[in-house]
A = this chain, B = another copy of it.
Amino acid sequence: MLQAALRSGAAHRTSVFELFARRLPDGRRYGIVAGTGRFLEALREFRFGTAELDDLRKRKVVDDATLEWLGSYRFSGDIWGYAEGEAYFPGSPILVVESTFAEGVILETVALSIFNHDSAIASAASRMTAVAGDRPCIEMGSRRTHELSAVAAARAAYIAGFATTSNLEAGRRYGVPTSGTAAHSFTLLHDDEREAFQAQVDCLGAGTTLLVDTYDVTNAVQIAVEVAGPELGGVRLDSGDLLGQARDVREQLDGLGATKTRIVVTSDLDEYAIAALQAGPVDAYGVGTQLVTGSGAPTAGMVYKLVARADDAGTMVGVAKASKDKKSVGGRKYALRRIDSRGVAEAEIIGIGERPENDGNDRELLVPLVKGGEIVGDATLEQARERHLASRKELSRKAIQLSRGEPVIPTTYLDDQP
Candidates B55, B180, B294; contact of A1 at CB < 8 Å:
B180
Given known pairs A8-B202, A189-B5, A240-B323, the reply for A147 and B289 (CB within 8 Å) is: no
Number of A residues near B (Cβ < 8 Å) is 88
Check if A1 sits within 8 Å of B309, measured CB to CB.
Answer: no
Candidates B112, B143, B213; contact of A323 at CB < 8 Å:
B213
A142 vs B113: C-alpha distance when bound (angstroms): 7
Interface flag for A134 (CB, 8 Å) = no
From A13, A51, A191, name the one whose CB has the most chain B CB atoms within 10 angstroms.
A191
From A110, A150, A215, name the one whose CB has the most chain B CB atoms within 10 angstroms.
A150
- Residue of chain B at shortest CB distance from A309: B189
- Choose the segment among A88-96, A314-322, A367-375, A406-414 that binds chain B (4+ C-beta atoms closer than 8 Å): A314-322
Instruction: List, in ascending order, chain B residues with CB within 8 A of A182's CB.
Output: 1, 4
A-B residue pairs, 8 tightest by C-beta: A8-B199, A112-B143, A185-B306, A4-B203, A113-B147, A146-B149, A188-B319, A239-B323
Q: List 29 A-B contacts (CB under 8 A).
A: A1-B200, A3-B203, A3-B204, A4-B204, A5-B186, A8-B190, A10-B190, A10-B199, A13-B189, A52-B169, A55-B172, A59-B178, A105-B185, A108-B143, A108-B183, A112-B143, A113-B145, A113-B146, A117-B145, A144-B301, A146-B146, A148-B148, A188-B319, A189-B306, A214-B322, A239-B321, A239-B325, A289-B301, A292-B299
